[in-house]
Structure 1
Amino acid sequence: MGLSQSKRPVVLIVEDELLLRMNAVEMIEAAGFEAIEAANADEAIDILESRRDITVVFTDIQMPGSMDGLKLARAVRGRWPPIKIVATSGHVDVAETDLPDGGRFLPKPYSPHQITGVLRELIGG
């Protein structure tokens, strides 16, 4: 058998706080998407380099490591232009001009309805 790719859109969730990441995974999977987890931007880049099926990167802005969520968003846009970007934060207010073209900002705390709406809007589903 070959590699089986998910028929559901794949969302890479980048969140350093475990409980928030688990909550985001639960909401995104309940909305009908496949969720993959990364604890920081470096882990996210490794995953993006190894998988070609990621549709959306859903990233926290404030994270430890070599880059924050805004730098990650710019890196994703530069290397993987088709991937959609959603940035989230409970501490930082972000203008759409702070994100790469087409990126969306979702303030924390977010609801399952908000996540579903933004993801469906971005992927046209």
Structure 2
Amino acid sequence: MRARPIILVVEDEPFVCIAALEAVTEAGFEVIEARNADEAIAILEKRPDIHVVFTDIQMPGSMDGLKLAHFVRHRWPPIKIIATSGHAQVTEHDLPEGGRFLRKPYTPDEVVGTIRELVAA
């Protein structure tokens, strides 16, 4: 039996984080939560089994979600990246190659569908 893909959700807004965690969990994925890029990097250093990083762009800490996305792509190239924001104007050129952008407010189906596409690729 194949292990469930593991998704790291990086979101500092508690209610947005809870909604994302619930949607991804209900879709059958294993989910890990981080509140900022520093927590996310600490988790990634200990967990080589993460498949997707789903990160908010605007958050406190040493780096925003775009910098985190590029750091992850450089350090852990196989990990897929989804970035989200309700404020930042993001183009495909702002994200690392293969990264996806979801504008807030997104639906649970958009999040889960994008994760499924990336995991299947």
Check whether the contact 1:93–1:107 (CA below 8 A) recurs between aligned residues: no
Letter in 2 for 1:29: T
The answer for the alignment partner of 1:94 in structure 2 is: 90
Give the drift of 1:117: 1.1
The answer for the alignment partner of 1:115 in structure 2 is: 111
The answer for the alignment partner of 1:3 in structure 2 is: none
The answer for the alignment partner of 2:53 in structure 1 is: 57
Q: Calculate the TM-score normalised by the size of structure 2.
A: 0.96
The answer for the alignment partner of 2:41 in structure 1 is: 45
Stretches of structure 1 lacking an aligned partner (at least 5 in a row): 1-5
**Residues of 2 paired with 1:113 and 1:66: CA distance?**
31
Give the drift of 1:92: 1.0
The answer for the alignment partner of 1:124 in structure 2 is: 120
Q: State the aligned residue count.
A: 120
**Residues of 1 paired with 2:16 and 2:112: CA distance?**
16
Identity %: 65
The answer for the alignment partner of 2:22 in structure 1 is: 26
After TM superposition, where is structure 1 displaced by more than 2 Å over at least 4 residues in a row? Answer: none
Q: Calculate the TM-score normalised by the size of structure 1.
A: 0.93
Q: Indicate the SS of the match to 1:55.
A: strand
**Residues of 2 paired with 1:47 and 1:18: CA distance?**
19
- Please give the root-mean-square deviation of Cα atoms over the aligned residues, in Å: 1.2
Check whether the contact 1:87–1:104 (CA below 8 A) recurs between aligned residues: yes
